[in-house]
Amino acid sequence: MTAAFKTIALFGRQHSDAVAQTLIEIGDFLRQRGLRAVFEPSVAHTLGRTDLESLPLAEIGPQADLAIIVGGDGTMLGIARELSPHGVPLVGINFGRLGFITDIPLLRWHDALGAVLDGHFETEDRAVLRARVIREHAVVFEASALNDVVISRSSRAGMIEIQAHVDGLYMYNQRADGLIVATPTGSTAYAMSCNGPILHPRLQGIVMVPVAPQALSNRPIVLPASSVITLSVIEGREPRVNCDMQNFADMQAGDLLEIRQSEHVCHFLHPIGYSYYSMLRSKLNWHEMPSLAPRP
């Protein structure tokens, strides 16, 4: 199975000497196995190694057979969105704090990555959202989101009133600080902090979660993955939309924010034995099952 991965792209959180050292070690590890390791130019520049092969991200997508991301979930989000149209599988080595989608511990990267290169891995596809801001029948902003699309008020303004339609049917008008539209992956991010449900990644659904709604009866709702959600701001100053908190756009009165599931998905590779529930226990500090051994 090693032959299945010939060109491997390496990405990492920038401005970190520890990440840089890990990327160099992984690059050497790959070359020792006869594989081609390529870096994004900014990463290669940060590493300070002129001998490293670098390619622009636009060229990495069509050429890479595998991408390895060293960092936290924020680093993974940005790379995953860019590579999803090319179907490049992703491996995440956790160098952050939580690491819901960068699941390989830093100290285990050598054994885990070696197993993946030998063909011993589990695959998991994650849904991606596509958002468009439409102004006077023209698209003025378009971006993808692996976690969530959020429409929110300005920090200098009060609540905003949002009108929501799903598949052309009116759902509600809601006064709140904002509204989160999240994938199952994003259900453990901002949506969870606003009391939204956790959606298993294999569940085909989209969750809508209000942010500090004026009416306590406004609750999160899970919609079919095929839903087309249209949001508009009825009242409120300086509303904004963001995708994964990395791509932003200002909205105006009369703008429409259209959100639907993308035709692309993100392909994650996990070590054999990976358990989503084990990850939740670890990251959310859920209690382990008590011992059933008899007391002395």
Q: How many CA atoms lie within 13 A of 271 on its CB side?
A: 16
Four-residue CA torsion sign, 5, 7, 12, 17? positive
Rounded mean pLDDT of 229-252? 93
Instruction: Give the residue numbers annotated as catalytic, written as ranges.
Output: 73
Of 71-75, 160-164, 261-265, 291-295, least confident by mean pLDDT is 291-295
Write down the pLDDT at residue 225: 97
User: Strand runs (DSSP E) across the chain, as ranges?
Assistant: 7-12, 36-39, 66-71, 90-94, 104-105, 121-135, 138-145, 148-152, 160-166, 169-176, 178-182, 205-211, 221-224, 229-235, 240-243, 247-250, 256-271
Assess if CATH 3.30.230.10 describes domain 129-263.
no
pLDDT digits (tens, 9 = 90+) for 244-288: 999 999 998 889 999 999 999 999 999 999 999 999 998 898 876
To the nearest whole number, what is the mean pLDDT of the chain?
91
What pTM value is reported for the model?
Answer: 0.92
Place of tokens 């001998």: 51
With a cut of 90, say whether residue 237 has pLDDT above it.
no
Q: Which residues, in sequence order, are bridge partners of residue 36?
A: 7
pLDDT over 90 (residue 142): yes
pLDDT of residue 1: 40
Where are the domains positioned within the chain?
2-119, 129-263
Instruction: Provide the pLDDT for residue 47.
Output: 74
Q: Topology of domain 2-119, per CATH?
A: Rossmann fold (3.40.50)
pLDDT score at 197: 97
Average pLDDT over residues 50-73: 92
Q: What is the mean pLDDT of residues 176-200?
A: 96
pLDDT, mean of residues 182-206 = 96
High-pLDDT (> 90) share of the chain, %: 73
Q: What is the pLDDT of residue 48?
A: 74
Report d(CA 127, CA 204) in Å as an integer: 8
Per-residue pLDDT averaged across 81-90, rounded?
96
CA separation for the pair 97, 180 (Å, rounded): 23
Whether the Cβ atoms of residue 90 and residue 80 lie closer than 8 Å to each other: yes
